[in-house]
Structure 1
Amino acid sequence: MLRKTATLASVCALLTGFTVAGTASAAAPSGESRAATFAAQAHKEGLTDVDAAALQRRVDGYLTTMGGKQVAANKIDLGGGSSVVLTLPGEKRARELTGTKRILDSCDSKTFCAFQNSQWWGDQIHMYRCDDYIIPWTTIGSWINNQTTGTVAQFKDNTATVRWVDGGAFAQDDTADWSWVLFVNNCR
């Protein structure tokens, strides 16, 4: 389950790409073999050792801030069909590395998607399970509500106060200001 509170240190860790001192490693349970698998996957995608390490630091930052389990070099499973997918170094749009390797510039059915940058670029949070999701960015981003008709998302500030509610599915914003948003509850 996602934490309902985020510490400033955790958010800073994500933004800088470094883990917070004293936090557990975000690697999957099987440790080094899992890390080697993700590194090999990154190398297969053409990443250098430096780029693969930078990607892993970003993944570790999200794991520290949002929880979940790393399931690919650039993907975190948040449970219940929800996930975070990161862009690869040098790329603007996130993409699946397993299976079809599709670019994720849209939002699957019955999902609310938050994008780090405007115009549906950058790292993404795919919210399927109804919950409060930490928005770790302070950028001008974007979002798509592709949930069932009438399902609205609530945008909450750092006190968990609802400050804005979207128009319901299908709504979107290609230039959303994440600077004041700490949580999105995808289906209220």
Structure 2
Amino acid sequence: MPPVRRLRPAPVAVAAVLALNACTTSPTEAPASRPGPTSTATTAGPSTEGDVALETLVPALGELQGDQDRLPGAERTGPVDVGVDPASTRYLGETRRARYWVALTDEGAVCLVDAFGTREAEALGSTCTSPRAFADGGIQTRTTSSTTTATGYLVPRGFAVEDAGTDVDWAVVADNLLAPSDQL
């Protein structure tokens, strides 16, 4: 299954999401008078790939969902749709530029969801891939506005930071989450 990227346009946002394997989506542009990022995501229930449960690769998926695990914006606008099952979203951590969640789609794909921008005008985006592709190399997402970029990398349990590549100085943000060290 090829990677899936979804953006939810908002009246104040511009977002672009890149998959780890260099697939890209086009930026979604808001009215010129109010540029900014926006995106949303949801997740699905437990899923397995071969003999390995996704909860083994990302332990947060096996935990009960708490308030922090829910995507932002739902309390203001109702459930947001970034292509994931809202009941499966689990908060992973944040950098100076974005907050990150892991989620699943109804079809069982693994997704990295990011919220980028100010809490009043966040853009939510998601990058998804098959469990097998995730187990082999993780999922990377990059969201860009006219002034800054945020990059996150969801990696399976046991993934070594040095395996992330040398083009970026990756740092551990939280379990299963890496980001460029200059964004921490």
Give the TM-score of the pair, scaled to structure 2.
Answer: 0.32
Higher helix share: 1
Say which one has the larger Rg.
1
By relative contact order (CA 8 Å, sep 6+), the higher-ranking structure is: 2
Give the TM-score of the pair, scaled to structure 1.
Answer: 0.32
